Amino acid sequence: MNAMAPGTNPRDLLTPAALHILLSVATEARHGYGIKHAVEARTEGALSLGPGTLYEAIHRMANDGWLEEVEGGGRRRVYRITSLGLGVLDDELRRLDEIVSFARGAALLPEPRVRTT
């Protein structure tokens, strides 16, 4: 889609916070606190978003048209990803996939382990 192609310029790369916020709202709308908890759960606490980082990123992504506020959150603002945001997320995930594929092809990164449960 190449919606604001992250990666075409180093300044365009998504931050880890932005990437995880987009991932958190890609499948369901969430309020800020829900986004924070989804990110912390997915990263097993490796990425913890403080309120300043979280809400500044949400505000910036909403202004850029990547997120939109939805009705029905009561006192909390609830956000969902837009089609533009999905395009940005898709572009970034493809860019990261290319990097991982290159690293695996160059034997710099082992194949992922298969988890057994």
Whether residue 82 lies inside any domain: the answer is yes
* pLDDT number for residue 69: 95
Q: What is the CATH number of the domain that holds 41?
A: 1.10.10.10
DSSP 8-state code for residue 114: P
Counted domains in the chain:
1
The stretch 30-48 carries a mean pLDDT of 95
Whether residue 115 lies inside any domain: the answer is no
Q: Give the percent of the chain with pLDDT over 90.
A: 75
Beta strands across the sheet bearing 78-81 = 30-31, 78-81, 67-70
What's this model's pTM, rounded to 2 decimal places?
0.83
Please count the other Cβ atoms lying within 10 Å of the Cβ belonging to residue 26.
Answer: 14
Whether residue 75 lies inside any domain: the answer is yes
Q: Residues 74-108: pLDDT tens digits?
A: 788 999 999 999 999 999 999 999 999 999 999 99
Domain range for 44 = 10-99
Whether residue 104 lies inside any domain: the answer is no
Torsion of CA 68, 71, 74, 79, to 10 degrees: -20
In this predicted model, which residue has the larger pLDDT, 51 or 1?
51
| Contact present, 77 and 32 (Cβ < 8 Å) | yes
Whether residue 36 lies inside any domain: the answer is yes
